[in-house]
Structure 1
Amino acid sequence: MAIAAYGATAGDQPLAPMAIERRATGPKDIRIAMSYCGICHSDLHQARGEWKGTLYPCVPGHEIIGEITAVGSDVTGFAVGDTVGVGCMVDSCGRCQSCARNREQFCENGTTFTYNSPICDAPGHTLGGYAEEIVVAEHFVLRVRHHREQLAAVAPLLCAGITTWSPLKRANAGPGKKVGIVGIGGLGHMGVKLARAFGAHVVAFTTSPGKVEDAKALGAHEVVVSRNADEMAAQANSFDFILDTVAASHNLDDYTALLANDGTLTLVGVPEHPNPEPNPDNLVGGRTVDFSMIGGIAETQEMLDFCAEHGIVADIEMIAADEIEAGFERMKRGDVKYRFVVDASTLTN
């Protein structure tokens, strides 16, 4: 049966209504009626063909909140009517070392991402959350315990939340740690909220003086305008951990110079063009630079439970499906605080 969706047929074409098919609900599958889907910067890059390998038609969306409408005969952990989430992955091999370690995002036989991953079903690749419903293997469905009135703002946790949670948790970003968050956007605003909830001393970095008070309101103890050389110099050699969320190419040396000995700069933003290579001189003293990509299913569930317990959600602006294209353009300009979320009920209006 055909369902309504929004997608692109080519990189130079705007997103528009289209009809797509979903597979039948298999024994280990869960069918979910979409309630909300967040808009991620990667949706824009993929739909526009800015990242190589986009498969068309491209239906983006991997920050999904919905209600279960059917479960397969072998499903044991969920029931019809449950409120659930789906993030960036919908399948993996389940057998390799990475899957055995609950790091399905690094599946050695190929993670199946929520959109743009090859599959056997038509049209030959996965189609994402800008659609009326989705069918997902039980293992990749996440339980949502937030209050109903928070659900739209929970959607971005399925990507922005876990993308910032995972490296912060690995860095033990808690009491006694000084943590920097670079960029106050869709990812960065979640990084500030989570680092503050973990108990770290949080310093936000922004290029815009106009975001200083916003960053403080999100929970930052200090805010540095990164274009101010004096403000940056005052932070030198002091950070245990810096999370860099910027999705545009920029100079990493500005931040490696701020790390204390054995400090780490972790990148989570994926720019259209690679960042310049950092100066090795700034890495003396055990300082490191690494990259983190989303998180496994178990830690995503841990993140959702933590956020429900602490009342943490994203700051969002709700839009209708026919506003997605305009949302893309506004997102490119940084004109959103801090995440667009599509109301799935508007897909058929």
Structure 2
Amino acid sequence: MANLLITGGAGFIGGNFVHYWSPRHPADRLVVLDALTYAGNASTIAGVEQAELVVGDIRDTGLVERLLRDHAIQTIVHFAAETHVDRSIAGPDAFIETNVVGTHSLLKAARAVWLDEGSGSPHRFHHISTDEVYGSLGANDPPFGENSPLAPNSPYAASKAASDHLVRAYHRTYGLEVTTSRCSNNFGPFQYPEKLVPLTLLCALQGREIPIYGDGLNRRDWLHVEDHCRGIELCLDKGAVGESYNLGGGTELPNVEIVEAICAHIDRMFYERPELAERYPACPAAHGGKTGRLVTFVEDRPGHDRRYSVDDNKARRELGYSPRREFMQSLPETIDWYLANEKWWRVPTT
């Protein structure tokens, strides 16, 4: 039996991790610390009996210390973060506060309880990072490895790179037992509808323009959130203390191809399931039209990275990691989840 503190566990990846971990480790106790900002949703983890939701801020170091002591926490899995690049461009302060100051608060609390008071009691601080800390690749560049220099280009990526450095420093300076994973673009259920896959789908269903930045050829590697959760589990089980691991999905695609695939699938769904036209009459496919006509190319955002791709051979070799969910095969299942969970996503998208 283990006791875990999962920060940001009512968000997209954190919430999926709660659902992933619980049936596989039924004796474990999960304390979820989440501020329930716009992207957090308590209903995401509703019904998970092992999970206790504590509404609070990771910047509250005293609160984190009390949770570590009161629940005898041995493991922190740190998901809590501001993550949307567009929002970081418009308002970077929140990203510095949550991603940098918040991570430092957690590290201070962990040091105080596990090292200063606990005399080095068994523990693990696992930090969830992103491939965006590496910056942008050229069309023919090899994928980023764990030893690639960090060269972030957005305020979001810079804040995550700063938190990566803090986690490493607390290991090197104080001996805190840490691991870090850097993932590629995630997709799957419970993703807030500001990210590409759910945004495209929900714009289409509501008959709104589907925006694509620039020429749409910016490329990303896509990782199903379940594969990401499996990778984190392997990091906790087999990862070497102080090490970082890239977790990739193995499917690198341009944004425009993602949007086209979603539009094509919507057209097929409306043809095969006529009842969808009653639910979503504003969708072009409800009237026999092509959903793709909603696609609108808009001015590129500042500092838009052209390409991300990670070399995850270290995780494959040392942890036994490999993704199982290929993007195009899992996309229909993801779309079906949103159609079946309309009450969950009926939230503002701005």
Q: Higher helix share goes to which structure? A: 2
Tell me, yes or no, whether TM beats 0.5: no
Q: Could you say which TM-score interval applies, normalised by the shorter chain?
A: 0.3 to 0.5
Q: Higher strand share goes to which structure? A: 1
